[in-house]
Amino acid sequence: MDEWWRGGVIYQIYPRSFCDSDNDGVGDLRGVASRIGYLKRLGVDGVWLSPFFRSPMKDFGYDVSDYRDVDPIFGVLDDFDRLLAKSHDAGLKIIIDQVYSHTSDRHPWFRESRRARNGPKADWYVWADAKPDGSPPNNWHSVFGGAAWSWDTQRRQYYLHNFLAEQPDLNFHNADMRKEILDIAKFWLDRGVDGFRLDVANLYYSDRRLRDNPPKRPEGGFARPYEHQRHLYDRSQPETLAFMETLRTLIDRYPDRMTVAEIFSDFPAARSMEYVQQGRLHTAYNFQLLGDGPLSAKLIRDALESWTSKTGWPSWCFSNHDVPRSRTRWGGEDANDAFAQLLTGVLMCLRGTIFLYQGEELGLPQAGVPFDKLQDPEGIRFWPDNLGRDGCRTPMPWRVEAANAGFSGVEPWLPVDPRHYALAVDCQENDPGSTLNLTRRFIAFRRRHRALRLGDIEFFDAPGPILMFRRTHGDERLLCVFNLGGDVATADLPADGKDLSYGLGGAHDGRRATLPPFGGLVVAEETR
């Protein structure tokens, strides 16, 4: 039997912004449960839930204060259990975020750790003395700006935080702490979750000697300070791989579970492949297709061809809760629905497990959020040069005529972009040509063809904006041809095309494809 996740489509839900069941302006687990029918009709194999655990919400759930409980804004633990049961009844898997790299500074572990330099949890976080001049222990930077060290007046040492000062880094060199992390994983596995998405999985360990990172000149000139270093010592340490093997041993005790790692690295493919070698994690994704464009055949081809592992399995996504939506990021503010539909078509034909971010099936553009409405600490800090992550986290639009697009009966935590109303679910449901219905058809098409779910991929040189590749599994051979440009384009096929299996307005005469702007087609291939 095929592993459910291999080649499947997993839908990412950012719970704060998906559906508000109790009209407090914030989405919740009951809201997610109320939309299981929608997800079932979409045709996805499973759902990735971003964090819903207890948290002071300095980084909106990625600062956990209790790994074993649900934050009250999202509901209670029974709500999660009901959501899990309803999803399983509908044939949907549920994977949940696990944020093991760091906790909230309000976590009881950190409160105990900061009290004194001795004690059971004194070494559960990364602490270090100041240099003789009082400055931080080394030159490491926080991703969110400033030093990666903050002074604690109670313990009179610095503590490490790769992100916000309110997110102290755990010390994975401590065996007791590692055991507790495994116990947390077991808690959720026993509850019935189908797997984990591991946040910044290669940031678990840091160098024991706390050596300085060497400098690096970032591409493109000016960048935030974090990008001016080669991160040799604050991430991707070799000990992390051994922990992944231990975690995998635990997970393998539970049938049909999976793990996907987020890899944050300057060498994304190489690092990702390390984490999915035999005995480690099931799959991994990185930021190769989550960066800035422009969209090109080379961008897609380089990412896919950089995955050279024959045994490890990749995952791909074009959008998520951390980056601007792909429609705008790659197509600009004027990108049309055809461009959004092209992105869906390309994504659904790639080799790997596919992650589809909420609203991507509607073709949502990046939302505009005024400065006075920003919530993201990264966005506030770097505004206006970097507008942060709020624009991809605005509420899901369900009904065009409803207040707040049907997300909530009260003003939501982030405003609904006025352009999103016309793209609401109810507007697209009955339109056969809508992005929503095209996405449903493409997911179903992918599910029907093992060449798309499980097959090999081979790219071909093609003129200009044409992206062309073959997917092969057994006797099934599918040619996937897409026009990434805004003008009509033609391309010779590397083999005779037989049936038009699927199209985005494209056509062929057996040997040559003609594609409208942002068009595409998938054809069954005949060997010449």
Residues 490 and 417 in one domain: no
Other beta carbons less than 10 A from residue 506's beta carbon:
22
User: Average pLDDT, whole number, for the chain?
Assistant: 95
Residues 357 and 482 in one domain: no
| Among 152, 199, 378, 390, the one annotated catalytic | 199
Residue 384: pLDDT band (50, 70, 90) is confident
Residue 47 to residue 92: CA distance in whole angstroms: 7
Residue 188 located in a structural domain: yes
**Strand runs (DSSP E) across 50-169, as ranges?**
53-54, 66-70, 93-98, 127-128, 149-152, 157-160
Residue 382 located in a structural domain: yes
CATH of the domain at 466: 2.60.40.1180
Residues 501, 503, 509, 514: what is their CA dihedral angle, to the nearest 10 degrees? -160
* Total residue count of the chain as it appears in this document: 528
Residues 391 and 516 in one domain: no
Residue 122 located in a structural domain: no
Q: How many C-alpha atoms does 143 have within 13 Å on its Cβ side?
A: 19
Rounded to 5°, the CA angle 474-316-253 comes to 80
- For residue 502, the model assigns a pLDDT of 76
- For residue 387, the model assigns a pLDDT of 62
Residues 422 and 387 in one domain: yes
207 counts as catalytic: no
| Residue 1 clears pLDDT 80, i.e. is over it | no
97 counts as catalytic: no
Question: Pick from 379, 411, 443: which residue ends a domain?
Answer: 443
CATH of the domain at 232: 3.20.20.80
Question: Pick from 443, 477, 502: which residue ends a domain?
Answer: 443
Domain count across the chain: 2
Q: How many C-alpha atoms does 329 have within 13 Å on its Cβ side?
A: 23
Residues 383 and 261 in one domain: yes
Residue 394 located in a structural domain: yes
Taking only the tens place, the pLDDT of each residue in 50-96 is 999 999 999 999 999 999 999 999 999 999 999 999 999 999 999 99
Residues 300 and 226 in one domain: yes
Residues 254 and 383 in one domain: yes
Residues 387 and 476 in one domain: no
| Residue 131 clears pLDDT 70, i.e. is over it | yes
| Among 28, 63, 234, 262, the one annotated catalytic | 262
Question: Pick from 443, 470, 499: which residue ends a domain?
Answer: 443
Task: Show the tokens assigned to 238.
Answer: 């070799």
Residues 432 and 466 in one domain: no
Residue 283 located in a structural domain: yes
| Residue 42 clears pLDDT 90, i.e. is over it | yes
Residues 213 and 360 in one domain: yes
**Residues pairing with 466 in the sheet:** 483
Residue 408 located in a structural domain: yes
Domain of 491, in residue numbers: 456-526
Residues 377 and 481 in one domain: no
Residue 108 located in a structural domain: no
Residue 192 located in a structural domain: yes
- For residue 498, the model assigns a pLDDT of 79
